[in-house]
Structure 1
């Protein structure tokens, strides 16, 4: 059950939660429209995706959003989508390959393999996908450094009340 300071919003059977507003638990069944980024008071976070295990975020759009803030919000959304695509593909591959491994290595009459028996598959999967993970991590760091620098610029401009050019 949600605390009294939570807000729900539904998007394609996905519930988004905001920690800054109040609601009652029965609101969940009444909300069917995705939240409007122009009207929400804070970023809204959804439940974990069943395949990627990532939580989707709807980023709040401030009323007087500057072009720099808009650039930052859009970049955050793009990075979130890039991450979502990568982990959906990766985890789909993992589940498919794990299922195939289980079918070919599961002795008759057994329903599961032991952790030691499965470790062979996990190591092989990680070894096979080592380059993909390395490339993902490099790109992830680049994207997050870019986000960090943009976030710092937005904060400094707000802090020192610097107007846009």
Structure 2
């Protein structure tokens, strides 16, 4: 059997037509995804993995964004005390804070990225297996 682009596109589209996406979370800025009832065990496994990846991202970015905002508030207060409480922070001062914050959080980002890549590769492999299975099931039903 020849794998055509249109067939592959159709299989990939079918997988996502029953997915609902909500508004972004105020803390993590990640949009929650809700799936409808899976039609097979393989689909259920993919949905569970997608939820696991979402939860991993949500927990990391909620924590990261909270730490960022707290650090920025402390930084702003210390700068305003140094200047006698006048004015606002300059772009240069904020960029110094951003750079220092990201440099300090580099090991956490590295750990997050490694964990995310592991989860994402497992998810990608299961999606590939599901799509191939659906592709052959779809073609066998047509003949």
User: Aligning the two structures, in what range does the TM-score lie when normalised by the shorter sequence?
Assistant: 0.7 to 0.9
The CA distance in 2 between the partners of 1:124 and 1:58, in whole Å, is 37
Q: Which residue of 1 aligns with 2:131?
A: 155
User: Are 2:82 and 1:88 equivalent residues in the alignment?
Assistant: no
Q: Which residue of 2 aligns with 1:56?
A: 32
Q: What is the alpha-carbon root mean square deviation over aligned residues?
A: 1.4
The CA distance in 2 between the partners of 1:78 and 1:161, in whole Å, is 27
The CA distance in 2 between the partners of 1:139 and 1:59, in whole Å, is 23
Shift of 1:105: 0.7
Q: Which residue of 1 aligns with 2:86?
A: 109
Q: Kindly name which structure, 1 or 2, has the bigger radius of gyration based on alpha carbons.
A: 2
- Please, which runs of 5 or more residues in structure 2 have no aligned partner? 1-16, 139-143
- Name segments (4+ residues, structure 1) moved above 2 Å: none
Which has the bigger relative contact order, CA under 8 A and spacing at least 6?
Answer: 2
TM-score (norm 1): 0.68
Instruction: State how 1:6-155 maps to structure 2 within 5 Å.
Output: 42-62=18-38, 65-106=39-80, 107=83, 108-110=85-87, 112-155=88-131
TM-score (norm 2): 0.78
Structure with the higher fraction of residues in helix conformation: 2
Alpha carbons 1:52, 1:91 under 8 Å: kept:
yes
Matched position secondary structure for 1:54: coil
Q: Which residue of 2 aligns with 1:27?
A: none
What CA deviation, in whole Å up to 9, does each residue of 1:15-62 have, x standing for no partner? Answer: xxxxxxxxxxxxxxxxxxxxxxxxxx7211111111111111112223
What number of residue pairs does the alignment pair up? Answer: 119
- Please, which runs of 5 or more residues in structure 1 have no aligned partner? 1-40
